[in-house]
Structures are given as C-alpha cells and as structure tokens.
Amino acid sequence: LQGDNPVALASINGRRTPLAETLSGDERVRLVRLRDPQAQSTIQRTVQFLAVVAAEQLFPEHPLYFHFSYDSGMYCELERAEPLTDDEIARLESRMRDLVTQDLRLTPQRFGLRALLKIFRRRGDERAWRATKYLRRDTMVMYSMEGMATMYYGRQLPSTGYVKAFRLVPESPGFVLLTNDKGRPDAVPAFTRQPKLLETLREDARWLESIGVPDTGSLNAHIVEGRTAELIRVAEARHNQ
C-alpha cells in the first residue's frame, strides 16, 4: 500500500464497487480513497470479516455472531455457554492484527444461489443458509480471504492490509468490536459503557430468539409462511406488558 490514504474502492455510475469490477467503457467512474466517508461501511465489513476468520481459527467449534450496534461499536458473542475471557479476547484481537500484517487479498466471487445454499448446508452454517434461502436473486457475490476457506458477504477492501485501526472491548459474555472513526481510518472512536442500554438490547435479542426469529432468515421464513400476523400479536402483547 502506498501512502496513508490509498484508493480503496470505486464508485461506478454512483454505485460503490470493489476495484476488481469489470468495466464496459461507458461508465462514470470515481475512485474512493480510504479516508473518504463513503469507504466507512466497507472498512467496517472488512474488520468484521477479520473477526470471523480469527474466531474460526481460535474457536472452530463456536461461530462468532454480531448481535447489535452498541455505543460506537458492534456487540459480538461466540455461540457457546461459557463467556469469553479477557485473555481469549486479547488473543482474538492479536490474531486479527496478524491477518492485517499479512496483507491478504480479499477476492470477490459470484455464486449461483443454489450452489451457495449447498455450500452453507454442507458447512453446517444454518444462519447463512436461512439468510440466503429467501433472497430474490439468482446470484450473490461472496468474498474469500487469501489462503482461507471462510467466505463473507458484503463489499470488502482490496486486502486486509488496508485496515488501520480497530479494538475489542471486553463486555461479558462477549465483546464490543470498535472500528475506525468515519473519515479517520487510523483512529478508533471513544467507547462509553452503558449497562442499562446493553441489558435492554440483550433482553430484546433474547425475546426475538424465544419467539423463533433470532435472525433475518428466520424472519423471512415467517413472512413467506404467512405468519406475520402472529408475530405482530406477540409483539403487541409484549408491548402492553
């Protein structure tokens, strides 16, 4: 990477795309640099991809899930009964930084939806399978990290070395993943613990799981099966408690 503000992605006819996008010759192209606020969501997804890969390496039996936004970050947990220890979180952050140092390529690949469903089912990734099943499209682009089997959805930076700043803050039983300040890729935002808010968000997440909609795939299943009225009644009953 050259300089502290390299080109990170492109905007083609107003649509943000990876630098690997093929052009036909008639497009309006603008290059988006790392410090451009338009790069922020791509940086965040790349940091999440780093966390998923690092967690899979350290805790292969326990998937990492991003539950909800909390203060200036994202609250995350492993799918296991035991809470993460501070030492485990430190190891996870260290592994993520190792992946950044290696500057691994992040490569997009387009899959047919049926092929992708088979891949997720074979890997036992039921959440990804549910999320993909109800998409109204024939294909989907997934990203792979150089030398890794894990795939991730959502536009990524060209390589892991583009990531400049992140931090993992312990928040038992999980942690809060902080990425950079918008427009400042080398600066991590301040974080303020809000215990009451966190407990409210956790309570909402537990409630959604208890009624069978822990993720978007499950919600889509209810909609397709014509069970939205049932969800509305349950939500109204909870609101009136």
Q: Say what the pLDDT of residue 224 is.
A: 66
pTM for the whole thing? 0.87
Summarised one tens digit per residue, pLDDT across range 171-227 is 999 999 999 999 999 999 999 999 999 999 988 888 777 777 666 766 666 666 677
**Tokens in use for 234?**
């349950």
What residues of the chain score a pLDDT lower than 70? 1-2, 213-215, 217-225, 228, 230-241
Give the pairing type, strands 167-171 and 64-70. Answer: unpaired
Query: What are residue 97's DSSP bridge partners?
Result: none
Strands of the sheet with 174-178, listed across from one edge = 64-70, 73-78, 174-178, 167-171
Q: What is the chain's alpha carbon radius of gyration, rounded to the nearest angstrom? A: 19
Name, in order, each residue with C-beta under 8 angstroms of 78's C-beta and a sequence gap of 6 or more.
55, 59, 62, 63, 64, 65, 84, 174
